[in-house]
Structure 1
């Protein structure tokens, strides 16, 4: 991850790294990460912090003995905790001569192209002025993300959005192992990953603490998103002085994920990772091969059935009969049209239906998972 002095680095810190098991902030950890990030900034790097911890920081102040489970209790905890979290970050960074900015995002911000463009412009302005953006999921109003994972995917989306050189995901484990090293002492750490496949996901376990909500699986999913956008990823430990710098320089205590050479355009990133699918097309094996191996467009002949209500220009998901999603794309048919065309040859569709394009999804509007 070496490069010019003007690198753009996104660092993600989870709840378990910032808060105590009984709730509340660990101020010494806030100070540690502020010092590490300040050193990167002072060396010429542009840094973005994606932080969790609002719910964990706030629930004890509300009188809960442990992290609450009901949505309205978690949202109330986040409302209290987010203020405490930003106050602590602001004080810690101010000691080191840096200004911070709070940016709260939800999944709907990413699914709306105008809103995500506005967020991108705001982040660019902050970074160009030497400000450290501190980004968190807006847990007070967002239901989905409270269930989703410890902001791992958010950090990957942000890394792609700001065109980061690398994404550093800090965790209490020093990387990805073939098995859980806490249970099997013979487990082997994977030093570098060139491609993320199903075997890697099978190796990933669950969450490691009752404070955070994300496990290694969500971190792998985040890495998959980031590398598709051309961002290199580090997943590992940062606990000692200089660890963040070493992680950004390719010398960290963890696992590195190589960015893909053929990265997705911003439009395809939006289709594949930010958009909200309006329906589903279930396809046969022949269509899967054409899409996944042949780089072809999806034609009506390969469609088995249709789910949902959508219109031309909407994003839909493409899945196999077993329910496994293989990708997303911009559809050229309304749902009723595609249902009528499913399984038919191109010639038959042209005779029966009035559609602008014969392809269900053109390969230029398609993202393979």
Structure 2
């Protein structure tokens, strides 16, 4: 079983109420991670806090809202953040490595593979890799959702045993406990449903960009990749180990799924769909429960322009996304043969490379 743990720490846990970098918090989390490493775990850290650490230093009175101001603050703050981590981990004889990523890095299977090889070597050498988004060059309003999504992608990439998303809230509640004192905490979530999403509010802190909803999104990605997730608070010595051991202050998102191959991870969470297909109930059953490929007869509607080899989303008749796959036809061909039986497809097309619209080996279920 994997002994790898991915720990994600949000801005609200790393900055003081005045917005400055809280070095005591950095030292606390470094000590918690060092204790975890001492018990035999390999730990990877995904950290926010660059903008929160830098905006005071650069001269802003409050956290900036314009993109170029955030990027400038992050450029200053990232150096301060790593400096603080290096000093804190050095006290435990631990070396750190900085890894800055953007969404485009995950969209490229070649870049993902290169990143994976680098991470493996760092872990082999006993280094704690520290991940953050490369805020200075990001263009989607700095955007992995306060690094929640980034932490899930990293956890899947390294096939982690657990993903621990640390925040200033002790888990997911039936309502906002700050407004509803009678709200109760979800101890375990077996399935992420619309009802679960309905309990999530907006951003909980002025220092961070992610709220509970972005953490649920991250949990959905990680658990689909076979990685169980903890979302909660770590504030006292030993809390991080407690979270790993299953009795932390928070909510556990469970999964019985196996880890995904790098190809499936890319296909499901990092690729960019260039179109969509709507399929009938028989095709839905075959894809979701039967483990079969998608055939032309099951395709009802084709949306968008794409070529063979592109990624498309597949929806059911209720417009619910079932999954993604690599298409074997361009959109014009598929419009011509959608709904036809296999024998009629062969008659209609003079040359056919593969009968399947999406082969089961090029498919990932997301429902």
Q: TM-score surpassing 0.5? A: yes
For residues 122 and 171 of structure 1, the distance between their equivalents in structure 2, rounded to whole angstroms, comes to 28
Unaligned runs of 5+ in 2: none
Q: Is the 8 A contact 1:22 1:65 kept in 2?
A: no
For residues 68 and 125 of structure 2, the distance between their equivalents in structure 1, rounded to whole angstroms, comes to 37
For residues 237 and 59 of structure 1, the distance between their equivalents in structure 2, rounded to whole angstroms, comes to 25
Matched, 1:301 2:297: yes
Matched, 1:366 2:363: yes
Aligned to 1:13: 9
Bigger mean CA offset, 69-78 vs 20-29: 20-29
Aligned to 2:75: 79
Aligned to 2:254: 258
Task: Label 1:133 to 1:326 Cα distance change in 2 as closer, same or farther (>3 A).
Answer: same
Q: CA deviation at 1:260?
A: 2.0
For residues 179 and 130 of structure 1, the distance between their equivalents in structure 2, rounded to whole angstroms, comes to 41
Aligned to 1:357: 354
1:160-203 alpha-carbon deviations (Å, 9 max, x no partner): 11121111110111111122212222211111122222221122
Q: CA deviation at 1:123?
A: 0.6
**Mapping of residues 1-369 of structure 1, within 5 Å:** 7-144=3-140, 146-320=142-316, 323-353=319-349, 354-369=351-366
Q: CA deviation at 1:238?
A: 0.3
For residues 225 and 137 of structure 1, the distance between their equivalents in structure 2, rounded to whole angstroms, comes to 18
Instruction: Describe the SS at the equivalent of 2:218.
Output: helix
For residues 147 and 49 of structure 1, the distance between their equivalents in structure 2, rounded to whole angstroms, comes to 18
Bigger mean CA offset, 150-159 vs 180-189: 180-189
Q: Is the 8 A contact 1:333 1:355 kept in 2?
A: no
Task: Label 1:364 to 1:225 Cα distance change in 2 as closer, same or farther (>3 A).
Answer: same
1:269-327 alpha-carbon deviations (Å, 9 max, x no partner): 22111222222223344433432344332222333333333222222112346654221
Q: Is the 8 A contact 2:67 2:141 kept in 1?
A: no
For residues 279 and 337 of structure 2, the distance between their equivalents in structure 1, rounded to whole angstroms, comes to 13
User: TM-score, normalization: structure 2?
Assistant: 0.93
For residues 309 and 76 of structure 1, the distance between their equivalents in structure 2, rounded to whole angstroms, comes to 38
Unaligned runs of 5+ in 1: none
For residues 30 and 240 of structure 1, the distance between their equivalents in structure 2, rounded to whole angstroms, comes to 13
The count of aligned residue pairs is 365
